[in-house]
Structure 1
């Protein structure tokens, strides 16, 4: 068994994320699976995570950080429609790369969780800033963000669920769908 003092919280979370992605979600891994993968005993995990609930929280934080990284990198130097298309493609790429973690980042943060709230707020702020080029602010921007997110999640959910098996370019379908939504925003 590896000595737990050489194990970091980051390594525990990254290993758990990999396992969740490989096994189809957090519901399909246990602390025993994680400890075995890390070559430690289960009690040693409690030095790094607070049980399964703590692991889920930490994976949600990690997932939001990863999603933000994808989006930040995608929007550099872009504004307006180009930025929203880049965000859409980054979101989809994140969902595909992190299939087991993706469901964790969908929920609104609990009101008492400052860490998750800060990450969610940053994501919201990026979208609000980009939508300002569409003259959308306040509630109008929030409604547009809900719609945008629904379009992205709907496509990703159908795609990853195996619903798009026709010999038709899914990338093209995705780009067209997002473009149609953005065209609608431009007309409001």
Structure 2
């Protein structure tokens, strides 16, 4: 019997908040139970194990990130869409570090298919339509953008840019200008 007041949604939200505060790697069923003021067995009415708890946080994070990116790029094209998309990505990663880490959690293929994960690629491709890239360049560009964004925000979140005279925001703007230039000037076969 499920404990009154604990729902799968409340459990997932509490786990996501805890991941942001303590780190996704530190997320455990016991820690979430303590946060909710219940004993561990109370949560097993809603989840099978710790892996399922992490999967739920990952799915929530993917959904939230896709929603933020979609709202940011709506009605935009070209460089404006690229900047809005990138800023949404960076803002989410820095504002929700545990959830952002969860979005990188390995999910099985059936779970991915029913999640917001495919939306990330579709949104990136929508941004790239403004650059007129044919395949396979478009697939390469999706990987290029995600790799660049992930690398930058990972270094930034770890404090990698604190000890330089140039602000991380200024470098981010430079990075986006450079990406835009690269995408607009990609040699065509």
Does the TM-score normalized on the shorter chain lie above 0.5? Answer: yes
Partner of residue 62 from structure 2, selected from 57, 61, 64 = 64
Runs of 5+ in structure 2 lacking a partner?
none
1:136 shift after superposition: 1.3
1:90 shift after superposition: 0.4
- 1:34-73 equivalence runs, <5 A: 34-73=32-71
Structure 1 length-normalised TM = 0.91
Distance 1:179 1:151 in 2: 13
Contact preservation (8 Å) 2:20, 2:96: yes
Distance 1:134 1:186 in 2: 6
- 1:177-188 equivalence runs, <5 A: 177-188=175-186
Runs of 5+ in structure 1 lacking a partner?
none
Could you say which residue in structure 1 is the equivalent of 2:28?
30
After superposition, what is the alpha-carbon deviation per residue over 1:43-102, rounded to whole angstroms, capped at 9, x for unaligned? 110122221110111011000011012101111221111001100000000001110121
Aligned pair 1:128/2:125, yes or no?
yes
Partner of residue 93 from structure 2, selected from 73, 92, 95 = 95
The CA RMSD over aligned residues, in Å, is 1.7
Distance 1:108 1:40, change over 3 A: closer
Give SS of 1:113's match: helix
Structure 2 length-normalised TM = 0.90
Q: Report runs of 4+ in structure 1 exceeding 4 Å deviation.
A: none
Aligned pair 1:151/2:155, yes or no?
no
After superposition, what is the alpha-carbon deviation per residue over 1:91-131, rounded to whole angstroms, capped at 9, x for unaligned? 00000111012122135653232555x41211111111221
Partner of residue 163 from structure 1, selected from 143, 153, 160 = 160
Distance 1:115 1:48, change over 3 A: farther
Contact preservation (8 Å) 1:59, 1:104: yes
Which structure: greater helix fraction? Answer: 1
Contact preservation (8 Å) 2:58, 2:104: no
